[in-house]
């Protein structure tokens, strides 16, 4: 894994946006895997600047988001559909019919085969379009990627997941109360993520320092889903200094781990 330690959140966001811009310039019909959450907000902001000032175009790009809550209407203020529209899709020249976010209505949570079909179709579509060229990831403080939560075994394909209490507490900041945080989500599986040709993981802030240090422990552990990225041949991790603060000294600067 390549590690880049940025001096702050702004620099991390710029470096990440540059990786995406480079990919899209090299291959205008790139397939991108996208993440939501606080971490990539700055990156989307920098990309908007590049679209407006540097001729970066998403006209022929296709996107697949990592995940979505189950139990929120698409138009809900905290749905990842709303997030992507507000922060990115509505502001760039992308064809909205080429943007994909996994979805399963909560009424189907008890008819799991309906959700399972939606999950399988999501993976099939990614495959049909040639696979993801560049997947962007954030990381949960418990090591989740997408909503692949720590567990004794992890599912490979897109699937429905119960969110851990830790994740629901972490995400409660976006809702008016903890009880409003959905209990389930639909997420790409670790297999879906690992099939991407290139992966870019971002993390910032001291609350991610411990999980980043654990992720680089050299061990692969399903209780730390992000550690599975160590088996992928093309992963870049861009973090700010605070998120790097618990790494061994020799890793506190850019390099190969
Ligand atoms: C979001 C996602 C999650 C987040 C993670 C970190 O699409 O897949 O894995 O990347 O929960 O969230 P933030 O960035 O809010 O700390």
Indicate which residue's Cα is closest to atom 4 of ligand 1.
138
Q: How many domains does the chain have?
A: 1
Domain assignment present for 14: no
Per-residue model confidence (pLDDT) at position 250: 64
Domain assignment present for 252: no
pTM of the model: 0.95
For ligand 1, the distance from its centroid to the CA atom of residue 139, given in whole angstroms, is 6
Domain assignment present for 4: no
Indicate which residue's Cα is closest to atom 2 of ligand 1.
146
Ligand 1 lined by 67 (C-beta under 6 Å) = yes
Domain assignment present for 176: yes
For ligand 1, the distance from its centroid to the CA atom of residue 43, given in whole angstroms, is 13
Indicate which residue's Cα is closest to atom 12 of ligand 1.
37
Ligand 1 lined by 143 (C-beta under 6 Å) = no
Domain assignment present for 248: no
39 Cα nearest atom in ligand 1? 14
Given ligand 1 and candidates 9, 138, 150, 154, which is best to mutate, with the most ligand atoms within 8 Å of its CB?
A: 138
Per-residue model confidence (pLDDT) at position 256: 74
Ligand 1 lined by 138 (C-beta under 6 Å) = yes
Ligand 1 lined by 183 (C-beta under 6 Å) = no
Domain assignment present for 107: yes
Per-residue model confidence (pLDDT) at position 248: 81
Domain assignment present for 227: yes
Specify the CATH number for the domain of residue 147: 3.40.50.1360
Per-residue model confidence (pLDDT) at position 34: 98
For ligand 1, the distance from its centroid to the CA atom of residue 117, given in whole angstroms, is 25
208 Cα nearest atom in ligand 1? 16
Ligand 1 lined by 182 (C-beta under 6 Å) = no
Q: Which DSSP string do the residues of the chain spell out, in sequence order? A: -EEEEESSHHHHHHHHHHHHHHHHHH-TT-EEEE--SSTTHHHHHHHHHHHHHS----TT-EEEESEEEESS-TTSTTSHHHHHHHHTGGGS---GGGEE-----GGGTTSHHHHHHHHHHHHHHHHHTT--SEEEE---TT--BTTB---SS--SSSEEEEPPHHHHHHHGGGSSSGGGS-SEEEE--HHHHHTSSEEEEEE-SGGGHHHHHHHTSS---TTSGGGGGGG-SSEEEEEETTTTTTS-GGGSSSEE-
For ligand 1, the distance from its centroid to the CA atom of residue 210, given in whole angstroms, is 16
One digit per residue, pLDDT tens: the chain, 257 residues?
999 999 999 999 999 999 999 999 999 999 999 999 999 999 999 999 999 999 899 999 999 999 999 989 999 999 999 999 999 999 999 999 999 999 998 766 667 788 899 999 999 999 999 999 999 999 999 999 999 999 988 999 999 999 999 999 999 999 999 999 999 999 999 999 999 999 999 999 999 999 999 998 889 999 999 999 999 999 999 999 999 999 987 676 777 77
Q: What residues are labeled active site?
A: 67, 142, 144, 149
Range of the domain at 158: 21-204+223-237
Domain assignment present for 144: yes
């Amino acid at each position: 894994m390549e590690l880049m330690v940025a001096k702050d959140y702004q620099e991390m966001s710029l470096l990440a946006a540059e990786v995406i811009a480079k990919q899209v310039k090299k291959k205008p019909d790139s397939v991108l895997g996208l993440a939501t959450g606080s971490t990539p907000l700055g990156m989307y902001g920098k990309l908007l600047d590049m679209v407006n000032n540097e001729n970066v175009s998403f006209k022929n790009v296709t996107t697949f988001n990592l995940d979505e809550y189950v139990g929120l209407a698409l138009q809900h203020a905290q749905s990842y559909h709303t997030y992507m529209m507000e922060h990115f899709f509505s502001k760039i020249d992308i064809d909205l019919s080429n943007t994909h976010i996994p979805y399963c209505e909560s009424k189907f949570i008890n008819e799991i085969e309906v959700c399972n079909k939606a999950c399988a179709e999501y993976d099939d579509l990614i495959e049909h379009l040639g696979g993801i060229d560049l997947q962007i990831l954030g990381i949960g403080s418990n090591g989740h990627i997408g909503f692949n939560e720590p567990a004794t075994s992890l599912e490979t394909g897109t699937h429905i997941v119960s969110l851990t209490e830790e994740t629901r507490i972490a995400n409660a900041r976006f809702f008016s109360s903890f009880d409003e945080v959905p209990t389930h989500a639909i997420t790409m599986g670790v297999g879906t993520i690992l099939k991407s040709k290139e992966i870019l993981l971002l993390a910032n802030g001291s609350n991610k320092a411990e999980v980043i240090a654990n992720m680089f422990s050299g061990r692969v552990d399903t209780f730390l889903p992000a550690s599975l990225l160590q088996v992928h041949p093309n992963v870049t991790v861009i973090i700010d200094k605070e998120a790097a603060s618990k790494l061994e000294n020799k890793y506190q600067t850019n390099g190969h781990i």
